[in-house]
Structures are given as structure tokens and as C-alpha cells.
A = this chain, B = another copy of it.
Amino acid sequence: MGRTSDAGEKVLAAGRSLFEARGYSALGVAEICKAAGVPKGSFYYFFESKEALALAVVDEHWADQRREWTRVLSGEGEPLERLRQLFAETEAGLRTGQQDCGTVPGCLFGNLSLEMSNRTEAVRTRLQEIFDAQVEMVDAVVTEALDRGDVTVTDTREAARSVVAQLEGQVMFAKLYNNTGRLSSLWANSLALLGARAT
């Protein structure tokens, strides 16, 4: 045991679950190692610091989420229908998290944005890149919808930003009220924000 690549994976998995449940500052390296079942030396063999682990957790989580977003948003069906599907899957994911942990975990990127972005530039920059990429993915769908005449909004980038901001705001309330039902208005709100034609 110890400094095998397996230990690195264990630390990453423990970090991911703990950062999601408890945030960054509340955790110490010792606690992460205990949860991972690896000695402290192994931690520092794979990660320079807790911040380095946080960046690795963020990267891994985004790699997974980007795969999901790409699958849904580039899939079959009309563009707005794909956006609706994204919200449905987001809500389902939060419900699963709630069943597993007892409480809605929220969005790891949103959580870290509010907890960390003013304190470390490396985390701030990484989270900016992730939200930029999310906005770009939503923008592509909105642009498709605009080309079909399904929406009336003209600044598709700004509209995509508003949709992602609304998503983060509602996920915040789903977490605060421990109620995934808070996300049920996302679809109607997004149609309003995009100036969608009545269907």
C-alpha cells in the first residue's frame, strides 16, 4: 500500500466526496487521508497541497459533467428539448445526491465559487473556465434554436449566461431548502429568458 497509483485514486475519490459534502475550508488533509485510508505521505506524493487536490477534484468532476452535458446537448431532438433534458438530468442528479447523503449537495462548482474564488486565483481561474465552457455549450443550443426561429433573443451569449445563472441560483435554493422541487421552474424560466415562442 502507500505510494501506488491506487492511493492517488483513493485520495481523489475521498476528496471529491468530502469537498462536495462539506466544502473546502472545513476539511484537513488528515481527515481526507483517513477517509481515503492512506497515510499522509501518500497524499503529498500525489498532491502538493489541499489546493492541488481541490483543483484535481474540480477537473475530474468537470470531465464527467462535460461528458454528460455534451451527450445531452448534442443529442437528438429539437434544441430546446435538449435544454429541457439537461435540467431534468440535473434535477435527477441532485435527487440521487439527496438520497445518498440526506441533503441536496448543490453544485460543486457553485459551492467552491462562493467559498473559494476570492481566496485563491488558481481555483477562481479554473472555475471561470468551467462556467465559460458551460455558457458556450448552452449558447450553441440557443443559437440553433434561434436559427430555427424557436427563440427571439438576439444576444445568445448573454442569454446563455442568464440561463446558467438561473440554474445556479435555483440549485442554491434546492440546497438551502433541501428540496429538488425548487428546480421545477427552470424550464419555464428559461423559455422566458430566451424569449421562446409560445408552444
Contacts and interface: CB of A to CB of B under 8 A. Distances in A.
State the main secondary structure of chain A at its contact with B. Answer: helix
Given A22-B119, A176-B128, A185 B169 contact: no
Contacts of A165: 166, 169-170, 172-173, 182
Interface string A154-167: 00001001101111
A95 to B, nearest CB: 15
A91 B31 CA distance: 39
Of listed A110, A167, A168, A169, residue having the most chain B CB within 10 A: A169
Contacts of A110: 114, 172
A118 B131 contact: no
Interface in A96-140: 101, 103-106, 110-111, 113-115, 117-119, 124, 127-128, 131
Interface residues of A, number: 45
A176 B117 contact: yes
Given A168-B169, A169-B166, A169-B167, A114 B117 contact: no
Interface stretch (A1-9, A40-48, A78-86, A187-195): A187-195
Interface in A53-70: none
A146 to B, nearest CB: 15
Contacts of A104: 118
Given A162-B166, A165-B169, A113 B176 contact: yes
A115 B114 contact: yes
A18 interface: no
Contacts of A164: 169
5 contacts: A105-B118, A117-B175, A162-B166, A166-B166, A192-B193
Interface of A: 21-26, 101, 103-106, 110-111, 113-115, 117-119, 124, 127-128, 131, 158, 161-162, 164-170, 172-173, 175-178, 182, 185, 189, 192-193, 195
